[in-house]
Amino acid sequence: MHAEEPIRPVRAKRLPRAVRERQILDAAVAVFSRLGFHAASMDEISEVAGISKPMLYAYLGSKEDLFATCIRREATLMIEAIGDGVRPGEAPDVQLWCGLRAFFGFVGEHRASWQVLHRQASSQGGPFAQELADMRGRAISLVAALLMHSADSQGVGHASRDTEGLAAALVGAGESLADWWLDHPEESAAAVASRLMNLVWMGFGDLVEGRVWHPPAKG
Amino acid sequence: MHAEEPIRPVRAKRLPRAVRERQILDAAVAVFSRLGFHAASMDEISEVAGISKPMLYAYLGSKEDLFATCIRREATLMIEAIGDGVRPGEAPDVQLWCGLRAFFGFVGEHRASWQVLHRQASSQGGPFAQELADMRGRAISLVAALLMHSADSQGVGHASRDTEGLAAALVGAGESLADWWLDHPEESAAAVASRLMNLVWMGFGDLVEGRVWHPPAKG
DNA sequence: CCAGTTACCTACTGGTCAGTAAGACTACTG
DNA sequence: CAGTAGTCTTACTGACCAGTAGGTAACTGG
């Protein structure tokens, strides 16, 4: 019998770099989302990734580098998901509806991603917050453009500053509603999206009188 | 000349316990809001408070105890501020308006408090999140009750579940708009409150057609 | 089968930080 | 003025953690 049998269980060995990097990033997102940047330890991330710490450093650099890479990857995924969901030619309310549905769909299927992006990154001071602020800024501009166009087509000459602020409020509402949804997961993504759509398009004033918004019949 | 002159500058000495505890809590809120729970060190808090570390432990207990105490104090202040602002007898929209104005007024005058309450506490796993979730729950119930009453008086039989969700969305919108405001402080509290009021009461659908909500003339 | 490269490890260092031990100073009380 | 209760300090410990040194095993091309 062999005396030098390895003690630890089979751990996939000698995988190509690209695969390991993916594993590491997946593990890092999971741990960061659960513990936050500071409380997460590189030891735990390497353990979850099934790899030793020096590999982690060799592939992804310092802890801050790793966190920034996580943020960039998840943000890119999310922006793509929303971009795929939206339909440029439609009426403003339908476009907004599609965007919201895509957003909540993404959050529902990538909870850890969302927590890293929103909850964790926004409470770290460094370059992360900047990165996130940029992404949020793009979302706000997008919504603002939508509203501007909508207002123009109605011949209303609102100040653009006002529209910008409303867009920021809507984006904020979406972010917080997503957070809330994580703690009340009994609803579908479409139901949550519909809720926000009604709130921001119709307003309470209409809703309490029974006027609601619903998507065009084609779904 | 005296050889034993103390080196460090005058540091208020031998204050009664109650005063010191206030100083410590003020310092803790400032440091926690700037750095977050994990990155904040007890050494820094004690230094900002103008006191040595063992005093901090003697008076406020462990780091977690201290953080929880901060949260409770700031949350109580905020709830009181909103309670003082609201006017129970008025119409639903006016009540909502008063509540929003009080909320944004508090955030504007206690930025550090708000950051501790919302940004920091919500991203820590421990008992803090629970404490915060309770506070948020109370706010949501309050708004939900307001909307229910409003809907009832219109004779509309909405499901109460739906109202609860809308209230959660509104509270979330308020929280995120407050965060946004911290990064865009060029507006007054009333302006920000008015922005959210218009969004949630009128909705984009009305706003783009030029219909806006404004407070009753008395201000 | 040998040389170079890539994947991977164990075991450490240096620094930071929560929490504490042990006692010093001050003010009040009798 | 002795005693005591409350305020306050310096100086430490033990744990944890980011990052590294230095070495081993496996593939790859000749």
pLDDT of residue A57: 95
Nearest chain B CA: its distance from A7 CA (Å): 34
Residue A10: per-residue pLDDT: 46
Do B181 and B104 form a contact (C-beta atoms < 8 A)? yes
Gap from B14 CA to D8 C1', in Å?
A: 8
**Which tens digits make up the pLDDT trace of A156-202?**
555 566 788 888 888 888 988 888 888 788 889 999 998 899 888 88
Digit-coded pLDDT (tens) for A95-153: 899 999 999 999 999 998 988 888 776 666 666 777 777 888 888 888 888 888 877 77
What is the reported pLDDT for A4? 31
Q: Which of A120, A201, A210 sits opposite B204 (nearest CB)?
A: A201
Per-residue pLDDT at B158 exceeds 70: no
pLDDT digits (tens, 9 = 90+) for B180-208: 888 788 889 999 998 899 888 888 778 77
Q: What is the pLDDT of residue B214?
A: 79
CA A155 – CA A170 distance, rounded (Å): 22
Strand C near-CB residues (< 7 Å), A 11-30: 11-17, 20
Q: Give the distance, in angstroms, between residue B16 CA and nucleotide D3 C1'.
A: 21
Q: Band the pLDDT of B31: cuts 50, 70, 90.
A: very high
pLDDT of B159 over the 60 cut: no
Mean pLDDT for chain A overall: 83
Contact residues on chain A for B199, CB-CB shorter than 8 A: 166, 169-170, 173, 200, 203
Helix, strand or coil, per DSSP, at residue B135: helix
Q: What is the pLDDT of residue A151?
A: 74
pLDDT on residue A211: 77
- The residue-averaged pLDDT of B142-150 equals 83
Question: Quick count: other Cβ atoms within 10 Å of Cβ B59?
Answer: 17
pLDDT, greater one: A38 or B42: B42
Mean predicted confidence (pLDDT) in B144-171: 74
Is residue B124 very low, low, confident or very high in pLDDT (cuts 50, 70, 90)?
Answer: low
pLDDT bin (cut points 50, 70, 90) of residue B161 is low
What is the spatial distance between Cα B93 and Cα B214, in angstroms, rounded to a whole number? 10
Domains along chain A?
1-61 (1.10.10.60), 71-207 (1.10.357.10)
Q: String of b and e for A170-204 (b: at least 16 CB within 10 Å)?
A: bbbbbbbbbbbbeeeeebebbebbbbbbbbbbbbb
CA–CA distance, B144 with B168 (Å, rounded to integer): 8
Task: Tell which A residues from 132 to 191 touch B, by Cβ distance under 8 Å.
Answer: 133, 147, 150-151, 154, 156, 158, 162, 165-166, 168-173, 175-177, 179-180, 183-184, 187
Task: Choose the weakest-confidence range: A152-156, B79-83, B87-91.
Answer: A152-156
Percentages helix, strand, coil for chain B (3-state, rounded to 5) are 70, 0, 30
